[in-house]
Amino acid sequence: MTFEEKYAVIGTQDPQYEGCFITAVKTTGIFCRPSCRARKPKAENVEFMATTQDALRGGYRPCKVCKPMEPLDATPPYIQSIINELHADPYLRLKDQDLRDRDIEPSQIRRWFQKHHNMTFHAYQRMIRLNRAYRDIKEGKSITETAYENGYDSLSGFQSGYQSIFGDAPSQTDKAVIHLKRFSTVLGPMYAAATDEGVCLVEFTDRRMLETEFKDLRKRLNAVILPGEHPLLDQVEQQLQEYFAGERMDFDIPLHAPGTDFQQSVWELLQQIPYGQTKSYKQQAIDIGNVKAIRAVATANGMNRIAIIIPCHRVLGSDGSLTGYAGGLERKRWLLDHERQHSHGVRQGELGL
């Protein structure tokens, strides 16, 4: 990006540029993330840097408003602690007074869950219990045993809550569960979703079509989406953090990506594009045996729900230009630059340079 392009971005509070550059303000001596909500400085007082480390080395200190040394929209430690407790103890039900006893203002935690999970804190607690109850029933436990082991006071209360989410009584439901987790990255927060078969979604939380993707997954898999723990979600988060740190080039996570035969053939080809390299949509079309299918290939790339792991960011226009990326073109630029930098370092090491 040019200086003018970067300067146009600051002040818009657009999260898609997170991690792409740092704004350093000469008159105040502070540095900010691109989406900082503080007043926009004059252009002559600004210099742009690649990383927070560059800004620190330049003598700047981090902004107290946007906190650029912390991951964007990271889960606050006190909320993460509560989430961990809820996952560990099925009998734990935190009411407003329980939060006040912990010196936590209930309205504050309600706003956080509404913003980042699109549900209230109390709804989040119910969803966790129902996720765990579903797994218990699938593993052969009786409905009565499941209800009381997951903190319900009555069998009727459990059956009513279960039916409100799954649409059927516990003894009759044929729906699957898609487990959902939110985590922070250097490019902004992401969602990961998984069934027992594999990972079915990895997206930035500001993806415009996210609700449409959730709806499509629920329909295709005859499933409900619930927050909860799953080994595959922990694996996704760990491997993506290794990727962003430049420590991982390949992923070995099972995927569950429902789609048409054509879409799946395109997604399989995407996974064959090596780390640090790119292809054009035309090259993709040739690879599937239909050079006229460029537009269809581009559409299938856009329908990919598993960002980075199925690397649709490695596809460019025929002239090498950055085109269409659901996470934003600047994130796409960052990902390609990141891969080129680290793949170059590996090749040098292999050559003994």
Residues marked as catalytic: 312
Containing 68, the helix (H) or strand (E) segment is none
CA–CA separation, 342 vs 350, rounded Å?
Answer: 13
Q: Which of 236, 298, 235 is nearest to 270 (CA)?
A: 298
CA–CA separation, 349 vs 27, rounded Å?
Answer: 42
User: By three-state DSSP, how is residue 180 classified?
Assistant: strand
Give me the half-sphere count of Cα atoms (radius 13 Å) on the Cβ side of residue 74: 14
CA–CA separation, 142 vs 145, rounded Å?
Answer: 5
Angle in degrees, CA 94, 192, 130, rounded to 5 = 40
- Distances in Å between the Cα of 44 and the Cα atoms of 14, 32, 48, 52, 226 are 22, 16, 11, 20, 49
CA–CA separation, 76 vs 105, rounded Å?
Answer: 14
Long-range contacts formed by 328-333: CB under 8 A, 24+ apart: 328/16, 328/17, 328/204, 329/16, 330/1, 330/16, 330/17, 330/20, 331/16, 331/18, 331/19, 331/20, 331/187, 331/188, 331/204, 333/1, 333/20
First-to-final CA distance of the chain: 31
Please list, in sequence order, all residues whose beta carbon lies within 8 angstroms of the beta carbon of residue 99, skipping any fewer than 6 positions away: 105, 106, 109
CA–CA separation, 191 vs 305, rounded Å?
Answer: 11
Tell me how long the chain is.
353
